[in-house]
Amino acid sequence: MRFTTSIALALALATSAPLAIAAEGHGHAHHGSSPIGQPGTAAEATRTVEVTLYDMYYEPESIAVKSGETVRFVIKNSGELLHEFNIGTAAMHEKHQAQMQLMMDHGMLTPTGVNHEMAHMDHSAMPGMEGLAHQDPNSVLVEPGATVELAWTFPGDAQLEFACNMPGHYGAGMVGEITLD
């Protein structure tokens, strides 16, 4: 069964380069263990998983990983919309969807891309926009036609999903299960 939803999340605020920067910065510093795992590096990866983003579904639809495994994800957006690849729990995705909606409402994101001019502005003084820099290490935004990478070390036990939290995408089915062995 194919999931139907679109993706978008991680704003690369440090550069105007296409969102590949969002993935590069995630794998280099370990911030301690968390319930969903932690950033890894491509060098630590035991394998590479290719994920293709289409408009409203992912291929593959689910991913099996081992406890403690570091996986290098190569994520390609073959759709026409901006999409996100975000590793988290269902509750985390629900919270993040509200933030993504704010980013859309304030022009930081469009249905098809990132407004790089808006993304580089200081939003800290704008009500409701504090902390919306979207630099979470478990997430990347992927513009149409772009390919980015993300390396992630998985925890021992968690109920994880990968999802697109662009407004309406998760609800349309753009979510997949991560199973931990």
Contact indicator for 12, 22 with CB cutoff of 8 Å: yes
Q: How many CB atoms lie within 10 A of CB 153?
A: 20
Contacts of 46 (CB under 8 A, 6+ apart): 69, 70, 71
pLDDT tier for residue 122 given thresholds of 50, 70 and 90: low
In terms of pLDDT, which residue wins out, 12 or 89?
89
- Judge whether 171 lies within some domain: yes
- Give pLDDT, residue 26: 31
d(CA 108, CA 118): 5
- Judge whether 151 lies within some domain: yes
- Judge whether 10 lies within some domain: no
In terms of pLDDT, which residue wins out, 25 or 98?
98
Structural domains of the chain, count: 1
Instruction: Look up the CATH number of the domain holding residue 163.
Output: 2.60.40.420
- Give the chain's mean pLDDT: 79
- Judge whether 11 lies within some domain: no
- Judge whether 15 lies within some domain: no
Average pLDDT over every residue of 10-36:
39
- Tens of pLDDT, residue by residue over 24-64, are 333 333 344 588 999 999 999 999 999 999 999 999 999 99
- Judge whether 24 lies within some domain: yes
- Give pLDDT, residue 133: 53
Contacts of 132 (CB under 8 A, 6+ apart): 11, 99, 102, 103, 106, 108, 123
Contact indicator for 67, 181 with CB cutoff of 8 Å: yes
- Give pLDDT, residue 117: 79
DSSP state of 20: H
- Give pLDDT, residue 45: 97
Q: Does pTM top 0.85 for this prediction?
A: no
Alpha-carbon dihedral 42, 77, 179, 88, rounded to 10 degrees? 80
Average pLDDT over every residue of 107-116:
90
Domain coverage including residue 53: 20-180
- Judge whether 8 lies within some domain: no
In terms of pLDDT, which residue wins out, 15 or 80?
80
- Return the CA Rg of the chain: 15
- Look at residue 142 and tell me whether its pLDDT is greater than 60: yes
